[in-house]
Structure 1
């Protein structure tokens, strides 16, 4: 296991940006995986998992609030953000990715952390809960509770976003990001209040989507995903934005039917990535779910 650390200044305290390498079992023997993450705060550990095509900076609007009560670890999923893709012999399916995060927690000496995830990250958070690897789960618009028609629609939207991000020249992205109207054009699919996102963040996440080496294989693996099991024995919160344009909010009702003891929370006026749209509300939902 190897760690590399580099501190990055923040408004409150110091965010520690780092990578960690560890081994994950495969059919051909243990394979090395490297994951990039950022860490800040103190208290019980809280793991943050982003959605497909995004990166750990998706959590920036809420990290400072969460860090007042939690040791926050925001992770770039393998093949996204600054994390390299998975090596040959490891697929991007749910079982493998769950094993990766189990090994990550062991490498970072996280004893059953709390976990919060958005979209794909929400699905992974629920799977980690089902496997008893975490002590609480907060899932924001988690994948996996769709009908087949809803899944096809969501994947179509994601593929269109990916196609556009890869075709836009960087100077044009930077120009569009300078105005609220341009940021709306680039990010209104995932945010209901895209004007609140900074120009720098919009440019960075457009590049993250375009350059995500794990996007295609992750999306392909998701065609067979349907979350159908309860997550008994630990606190589970499922929260859905009322303006989610990718995973429609009625999927939250299905999640509640499958996980009957879960707390189902409505996020008024929020889109698919609600951390940007209402940071105070989302942080409170996560902290309440992990208390």
Structure 2
């Protein structure tokens, strides 16, 4: 097996992904493209056999991906694309070592670049309010549903999957609380603001009965009486933002980001926000503190006479 060419081992690895691991067709296709790039790079180094490849070669490949090759019209890859391609190469070398094609996994110590930490994009409070108003007009069952759903998303910082999975019994309008089921089925009880409760009450009284076609526990229903899907809920928000004149890219996660940012701007403790969001680690929540620090920095730079 030591005399197998790089291309031969690539084919074996792709078969392994397809047959033994049952990887999706799109995943295998992506690995095929990435490993073809890798095999071409190794060929350029004169490495026709995998036994000749060293850790230095893998690191050089990483550098080449990030630099590109302008002479051949190859642009530098974004860190996310570099990471994906290197993951394919690392998996390939791990497989080759496990199968006895090579003695050592030379790619083991070569780590993909960490993607740049993107700050969450939060809407201004007036933009959120405009979207909520636009979702509830005109006053008919679907509009009542849309307003209640978006009010709830923003009021408790829920994920869209958590809200579309809600049943009627999961929300207590008297105590103003909702039971959310997050990742891994972990439950948390989150308070809900009065405007959201009012919107949900209006929907339950005047909206949901008109949408019900058969008995169902689902809180938010589509026009056929079934549970509203994540995709449909996403479209509700996009349409409301367009009607409100909010030109930013808006997604259900935008309301979640806005919820967290507005709480921290208002003085909320980061650990309380962590619990409300259902984050297992406060480190995940702390990214929002960077947003508020940036906001404070901008205010300081424009308002303080000795800032410049």
Report the TM-score range of the alignment, normalised by the length of the smaller protein.
under 0.3
More helix by share: 2
Taking structure 2 as the reference length, the TM-score comes to 0.23
Taking structure 1 as the reference length, the TM-score comes to 0.24
Structure possessing the higher relative contact order (Cα contacts under 8 Å, 6 or more residues apart): 1
